[in-house]
Amino acid sequence: MQLKRYFQIVLAHRIWVLLVFVAVTALSAWSSVGVPFSTTLQKLFFGDSPEFAEYQERARTFANDDIFIVALETDEPLSDENLSRLAVAVDLVEAHPEVARVDSILGVQSIAGEDGALVVSDLVSDDSNVPRAEWSREPGVEGLLVADDGSSLACIVELSVDANRSGEVIPITVREVLSSFEEAGFSAAQIRRAGFPPLVAELTSLVYQAIQQLFPITVLVLLLVVWGLFHRLTPAIVASVVGLLSVVWTLGFASLLDDEFNLFTGIVPAVIMVVTISDVVHLWSAYHNEIRSGRTPQDALLESATDVGMACLLTSATTFVGFVSLSLIPTPVFQQLGLVLGFGVAISLLIAMTLVPIVLSYMRPPSVEMLDRPTLGGRLLDTILAVVTRCSMGSPRVVVGCFGLALVAIAFGLARVTIDTQFAERLSENNGLRQDQDYVERHFAGTQVLDVYVDVPEAEGLLDEAFFARLQDFQTKIEALPQTDKVWSIVDLVEMLHGALDGDGSLPSVDGALSQYLLLFEMSGGEDLDRMVDFERKTTRMMVRTQGLGVRAAYDYGQTIEQVGAQ
530 contacts: CB under 8 Å, gap ≥ 6: 62
Split at pLDDT 50, 70, 90, the class of 372 is low
Check whether 255 has a pLDDT greater than 60.
yes
Q: In terms of pLDDT, which residue wins out, 405 or 163?
A: 405
The arithmetic mean of pLDDT across residues 46-69, rounded, is: 85
CB neighbours of residue 492 within 10 Å: 18
Rounded distance between C-alpha atoms, residue 74 and residue 78, angstroms? 9
Instruction: Count CA atoms closer than 13 A to 82's CA, side-chain side.
Output: 20
- 333 touches 39 (CB < 8 A): no
Rounded distance between C-alpha atoms, residue 277 and residue 222, angstroms? 7
Element (H, E) at 541: strand 539-546
Of 250-254, 301-305, 433-437, 452-456, give the lowest mean pLDDT range: 301-305
Residue 158 has a pLDDT of 92
Check whether 149 has a pLDDT greater than 90.
no
Alpha carbon 491 to chain centroid distance? 34
Residue 281 has a pLDDT of 85
Rounded distance between C-alpha atoms, residue 476 and residue 481, angstroms? 9
Of 151-155, 224-228, 486-490, 555-559, give the lowest mean pLDDT range: 224-228
pTM of the model: 0.76
Check whether 438 has a pLDDT greater than 60.
yes
232-239: long-range contacts at Cβ-Cβ below 8 A with a sequence spacing of 24 or more? 234/363, 235/280, 235/281, 235/284, 238/280, 238/284, 238/355, 238/356, 238/359, 239/276, 239/277, 239/280, 239/281, 239/284
List, for residues 287-322, the tens digit of each pLDDT value.
888 887 778 878 877 887 777 778 888 888 888 999
Split at pLDDT 50, 70, 90, the class of 87 is very high
186 contacts: CB under 8 Å, gap ≥ 6: 72, 74, 85, 89
The secondary structure of residue 363, as a DSSP letter, is S
List, for residues 316-366, the tens digit of each pLDDT value.
888 899 999 988 888 888 888 999 999 999 999 999 988 988 888 888 877
List, for residues 162-185, the tens digit of each pLDDT value.
877 877 788 899 999 999 999 999
Check whether 542 has a pLDDT greater than 90.
yes
Check whether 473 has a pLDDT greater than 90.
yes
- 250 touches 268 (CB < 8 A): yes
Between the two ends of the chain, the Cα-to-Cα distance in Å is 70
313 contacts: CB under 8 Å, gap ≥ 6: 3, 349, 353
Rounded distance between C-alpha atoms, residue 233 and residue 510, angstroms? 90
List, for residues 30-42, the tens digit of each pLDDT value.
988 877 777 777 7
List, for residues 48-58, the tens digit of each pLDDT value.
788 888 888 88
Instruction: Count CA atoms closer than 13 A to 341's CA, side-chain side.
Output: 25
Phi/psi zone of residue 327: left (φ > 0), alpha (ψ -120 to 50 degrees), beta?
Answer: alpha
The side-by-side arrangement of strands in the sheet containing 191-195 is: 99-103, 152-159, 67-73, 191-195
Split at pLDDT 50, 70, 90, the class of 475 is very high
Element (H, E) at 53: helix 50-61
Residue 164: Cβ-neighbour burial (10 angstroms; 0-12, 13-18, 19+): exposed
Residue 470 has a pLDDT of 92
Residue 182 has a pLDDT of 94
Residue 1 has a pLDDT of 56
Element (H, E) at 542: strand 539-546
226 contacts: CB under 8 Å, gap ≥ 6: 235, 236, 239, 277, 280, 281
DSSP-assigned letters across all residues of 394-446: H-HHHHHHHHHHHHHHHHHHHHT------GGGGS-TT-HHHHHHHHHHHHSS-
Question: pLDDT over 70 for what percent of the chain?
Answer: 98
Query: What is the radius of gyration, based on Cα positions, of the chain?
Result: 33
Please name every residue paired with 452 in a beta bridge, in sequence order, or none if there are none: 542
Residue 510 has a pLDDT of 67
Q: In terms of pLDDT, which residue wins out, 481 or 379?
A: 481
Question: Phi and psi for 526 in degrees, rounded to 5?
Answer: -65, 140
Check whether 128 has a pLDDT greater than 60.
yes
Split at pLDDT 50, 70, 90, the class of 505 is low
Alpha carbon 6 to chain centroid distance? 44
Split at pLDDT 50, 70, 90, the class of 504 is low
